Amino acid sequence: MDETTAQSQAGVSTMTIVLPLALAQFVASFAATSMNVAISSIASDLNTTVLGVQTAITLFTLVMAALMIPGSKLTDIWGRKRCLLIGLVIYGVGALLATIALTLGPLVVGYSLLEGVGSALLIPPVYILVTVSSTSLAERAKNFGIISAAAGIGAAAGPLIGGLLTSAISWRAAFLLQILIVALVIYLSQKIPDPGVQGTKPGFDILGTILSAAGLVCIVVGILLTRTYGWFKSRADFTIGHTTLIHQGGISPIWIFIVIGILFLVWFFIHIRSMEGHGKEPLLSTHLFHNKVSNAGLTTQLIQWLTIQGSFFVTSVYLQSIRGYSAIATGLILTPSTIGILLSSGIAGRLAKRHAQAQLIRWGFVITVVGVALLLLLVRASSGVWTFIPGLFASGIGVGIMLTSSVNVVQSSFSEKDQGEISGLSRSVSNLGSSLGTALVGSVLVSTLVVGNKHFLLAATVLIVADLIGLVVAFRIPKQIAAQSTA
């Protein structure tokens, strides 16, 4: 931590800094899952389809993932606190537009676009300010525990709160709640110390922003299209305008989008390496990818959020579409997961003092796999509500245990001068995981390969495979990790 920052924090309590940042993280995570239980209500109210609302949810997390890295770069240009406030304002405007939306279009603009852009601007400062305000690894772990708990609780409580509001008032009330929380965060954040940008401000890499965003968007959109065209053979004609490019029975057009996305990302990496070779500052420094510990931590983050968003999405859609449960009933059934995340996140700080971060991540994945496996074993088309409880509770415990540790592993791998970039990369990866979670399980839910309750079971199997991959990656993280100096 530099001297200016230390002096500005004199007399300011940790909670004065952490509380508004935790609330900011909570509202962004809440927005991603609270919509799941209201899908049917929104589709009916806006005279659209369930697929349309599902797409809006995925686009929200996708916009965040695509713009989180540029958003983090802007913290080095505008300043951390200023970037936070601008993001909050944009987010609030988006929530207001979504509240008054009468058709799907305004909902997508307000929720998916503006709230997504706002989140991409406000989330990186949250993690940067927590990192630079912590004086030790123990304090950083404690503060990250609070932020990660807020993220996990926001995601886990989203279905319950969203279900209650949808059933008692309207799905629009969930957006009104977001507006109130954003207003509170803006008020509380006035006391957060931030010396502003010190030294020369870096330039903004516009081409890098376009290439990275285009690559991520194309890949996730390709996966989303599996719902319509399938993974391998196209279920329908793929037409642009009046021209049919791929006929039904041909190769699925999703691979066109995925390949284009990969090419954009390859171009992006060539571009940022070229900029560094010419002594210019790119959107993202290539040395961030040379840290093997951070790379492993980022991979576990992606899989954790794929699991969170994917499990809530598949369970919510299954309960409403197959079982016919209401929004509030769906939210209540998902409550065990909320309780699990709340309990384990609450003790994350104490666990971090007694056990290695890598060990906690491994335990988390093991418990999560057990939880999803319990869903596979117990849930049937006609089984009682109780069959969901053990699996959802165990999954919540597992996710809550490892969320904080993964974030701490990544952020602690770099010094303060890299916190802007690594924070954006970290959040981008997490939100990409959320997008992939929704897209992957969404494609399974409409698969023609299975029928009835087997859709749910197949989607749960996908989540288990992902978590097992995360467990393998977690063993690449060393037990002892030295925190980088923030000087």
Q: Where are the beta strands (DSSP E) in 274-421?
A: none
Q: Where are the domains of the chain?
A: 3-204+283-474, 205-282
For 65-114, the DSSP string reads HHHHHHHHHHHHHH-HHHHHHHHHHHHHHHHHHHHT--SHHHHIIIIIII
Class of domain 3-204+283-474: mainly alpha
Q: Taking each helix axis from N to C terminus, what angle separates 172-188 and 80-99, rounded to the nearest 10 degrees?
A: 160
Distance of CA 341 to CAs 289, 329, 336, 402, 471, Å? 30, 20, 9, 10, 19
Tokens 């081409």, located at residue = 207
- Residues paired with 243 in a beta bridge: 240
Structure tokens at 64: 């965040």
Beta carbons within 8 Å of 454's beta carbon, 6+ residues apart: none
CA triple 479-351-360, angle to 5 deg: 45
**Spatial separation of the C-alpha atoms in residues 397 and 369, rounded to whole Å:** 11
Written as tens digits, the pLDDT of the chain (487 aa) is: 444 444 344 445 667 778 888 898 888 888 877 877 777 788 888 888 877 887 788 788 778 877 888 887 787 788 888 888 999 999 999 999 999 988 988 999 999 899 989 988 888 888 778 776 766 656 666 777 677 778 777 776 777 788 788 888 888 998 999 999 999 999 988 887 776 666 666 677 889 889 988 888 888 788 777 777 777 788 788 887 777 788 888 888 888 888 999 999 999 999 988 988 888 878 778 888 888 888 888 999 889 888 887 887 777 777 777 777 776 777 788 788 878 877 887 676 677 678 788 888 999 999 999 998 998 888 777 777 788 889 889 988 888 888 778 877 887 777 767 766 777 788 778 777 877 777 777 666 555 444 455 777 777 888 889 899 999 998 888 876 554 444 4
**Spatial separation of the C-alpha atoms in residues 387 and 383, rounded to whole Å:** 7
**Rg, C-alpha atoms of the chain:** 21
Helix runs in 225-291, H state only? 226-229, 254-277
